[in-house]
Amino acid sequence: MSTYFISDIHGCYKELKILLEKSCFNDQKDYLWIAGDLVSRGPDSLSVLRYLYSLKNRVQIVLGNHDINLIAVYSGIKKNKKENYFDEFLVSSDSLKLINWLRRQSILKIDEKRKIIMSHAGISPQWDINTAKVCALEIEDCLSNINYSLFLKSMYNNSINFWTLDLNQLDRLRYSINSFTRMRYCYPDGRLNMFCKKSPNFVQYPLRPWFLMPSNISKIYSIFFGHWSSLKGSYIPKPFFSLDSGCCWGGELTMLRWEDKKWFSQPFLSK
């Protein structure tokens, strides 16, 4: 039994299947952990979701910002855009089944035995592990609830970028969504910057990558995340594993086998 880590598939179904074949992934014995953004940008989000749905308990998923966006588009909360490549999914006969499955996936995955954490964008440096767990559960409860569309209508807010215990419930959820699915940089006081997407090689003080901020969590856990394809070639300290190598932008889909720390990669194929 092996455990594989991957992120930001972004509808690149052909690349995913080739990569799994290269790595000898066995869907009867192995486990696939995915750090979000299963859909959008790439050409075949529907096939990606259908395949992952078929893996049942062999796949462990945390939602990314594009996955939540698909749920919002399906619900009529957000407008569909050409670059999403959602058209085929939205008219498919199994779209409701897949959406209901998708919105019941996790925001945060933790393996206490192996001391592994996975989230899409990362973990707020202002949180301890218990706070992260509570905040993830709050989002998961909202998305899995029958009234999930009410939450989606009000969750987008870039101004909620600093964690305090005084936040009301809605702002707690907004901050948590920003932290788990969208953040890249922080200011020295811990505030999230919700706009800069550049490589750290081209960004100066006061902005710092979230994973270079002081945090007790990274002293205990290995942290897997995606979301940030421009990190390639940047310094990333050892407890952190960046999984997004920009396949949908013409880069590669990469995957790590945990047991022997071996990386596998598959270049993007033309659409």
Place 271 in a pLDDT band, splitting at 50, 70 and 90: low
pLDDT mean across residues, the chain: 96
Per-residue pLDDT, averaged over 99-126, amounts to: 97
Residue found under tokens 């992952």: 52
Percent pLDDT > 70 in the chain is 99
Averaged pLDDT, 254-262: 97
| Banded model confidence at residue 232, pLDDT cuts 50, 70, 90 | confident
What pLDDT is stored for residue 233 in this prediction?
83
Pairing of strands 109-111, 240-242: unpaired
pLDDT digits (tens, 9 = 90+) for 144-186: 999 999 999 999 899 999 999 999 999 999 999 999 999 999 9
Question: pTM here?
Answer: 0.96
The CATH number given to 3-267 is 3.60.21.10
- Does the structure show a pLDDT above 80 at 85? yes
- Buried (b) or exposed (e) across 64-81, using 16+ Cβ within 10 A? bbbbbbbbbbbeebbebe
Q: Tokens 């399906």 label which residue?
A: 74
Task: Specify the pLDDT at position 269.
Answer: 93
Q: What is the CA radius of gyration of the chain?
A: 18
pLDDT at 139 over 80: yes
Name the residue ranges covered by the structural domains of the chain.
Answer: 3-267
The percent of residues in the chain predicted with pLDDT above 90, rounded, is 97
